[in-house]
Structure 1
């Protein structure tokens, strides 16, 4: 009986340890001013996989980061393997000069470089506690949208209007002015030389395991894990001209 109880305890402890390992990533800060260059790599999450629970479940974070994002990076590196003239460009610069990419690989580069850029931004602005911004970001939101509530309503509407897969984003320019945009598929604002401050991924892979077809529920919950300090760092970098992704 004692052996059985001890065995049960050991199994439970092992399961708990495994769960903790599954819920963790190699936490590292994603630097908004670091130029992403070839060969591209998926940045480690700056928090544990379970950091966005319950808004975004652990398994979705694992699959989204380790599988979907990793596939964009792998496909992009493969496409550029035989094009050293393109390998010299940082990711944002590559996106801004898509017209110079050979037609044979242009669509692949567009989709996968865009996916890499969009997701690198996405991971950086999550892992927070939601709430309200402070400082310059708060002032900019109130100046350009009237209030956080108005920005939230407008961004949510943009996210819900995306047909199929895409993104809804807040852009920031060198003057610190904010604006809204939505993009289909993995198109990135960097393709037009515009910098995303933060944004929401409304591809089904971002939410379907937990929310199924209830995109509005996901869009509403997403605000609860926004990382306003990280967004503030991106805002400062944008005004300095050093925001790179």
Structure 2
């Protein structure tokens, strides 16, 4: 089973002005594809892991031979994270409502307090990584992970554990062409294009 680059459900310029066309095209066709090609090459050498669904594979990284573990972690993580990211975006965004909105308000006090905490977490994260809203035991948390780690990898690998609801790429390649060093401006622009309908499906699953 080889991973393939997923098609986007929107054009590269559809998320402007929040996310610019040039960055989206490079991010999808270059960065994401590189993770896929690398992951496939590694899995060719690990046939015992080749047919495992990606969600399960992320949870079995501690079973991968140590010589290949970090390389597979980075590249399979990169493929999963980016696939998750693209689906979580929608031109013009959607409205946060229903059970997910109630859960956010219960966990953080209000939607605005959640957004402030999410932004602060993304801004304070040192280096490359991701910022997540996750569900763990019916409670919502905001956390961040290094590089291409994600919460599905578990505490021993990524330092956190839970089911991701939304995720934001905070690698510089995700925003530098438009925002340069202004990570906070990039993070704030995320709220304009979040697909809360997709997030609700993840929350309820």
Confirm or deny that 1:113 pairs with 2:81: no
- Per-residue CA deviation, residues 197-233 of structure 1 (Å, 9 max, x unaligned), is 0011110000001011111111111111111111112
Among 132, 135, 141, the residue aligned to 2:98: 135
2:130 — aligned with what? 167
The normalised TM-score by structure 2 is 0.92
Confirm or deny that 1:146 pairs with 2:114: no
Confirm or deny that 1:82 pairs with 2:50: no
2:157 — aligned with what? none
1:202 — aligned with what? 170
Confirm or deny that 1:189 pairs with 2:156: no
2:6 — aligned with what? 43
Tell me how far apart the structure 2 counterparts of residues 212 and 112 of structure 1 sit (CA, whole Å).
25
1:100 — aligned with what? 63
Tell me how far apart the structure 2 counterparts of residues 95 and 190 of structure 1 sit (CA, whole Å).
6
Specify whether residues 62 and 147 from structure 1 end up closer, same or farther in structure 2 by C-alpha distance, changes over 3 A only: same
Shift of 1:131: 6.2
- Per-residue CA deviation, residues 15-48 of structure 1 (Å, 9 max, x unaligned), is xxxxxxxxxxxxxxxxxxxxxxx31112111211
Shift of 1:132: 4.1
Unaligned ranges ≥5, structure 1: 1-37, 238-245
Q: Could you say what secondary structure the match of 1:114 adopts?
A: helix
Tell me how far apart the structure 2 counterparts of residues 63 and 91 of structure 1 sit (CA, whole Å).
24
Confirm or deny that 1:236 pairs with 2:204: yes
Q: Could you say what secondary structure the match of 2:192 adopts?
A: helix
Tell me how far apart the structure 1 counterparts of residues 12 and 204 of structure 2 sit (CA, whole Å).
27
Shift of 1:88: 2.1
Unaligned ranges ≥5, structure 2: 155-160
- Per-residue CA deviation, residues 174-206 of structure 1 (Å, 9 max, x unaligned), is x54211111011111110162110011110000
Among 58, 62, 80, the residue aligned to 2:25: 62
After TM superposition, which residue ranges in structure 1, 4 or more long, deviate above 2 angstroms? 128-132
Which protein shows a greater Rg?
A: 1
Where in structure 2 are the equivalents of 1:7-18 lying within 5 Å? none
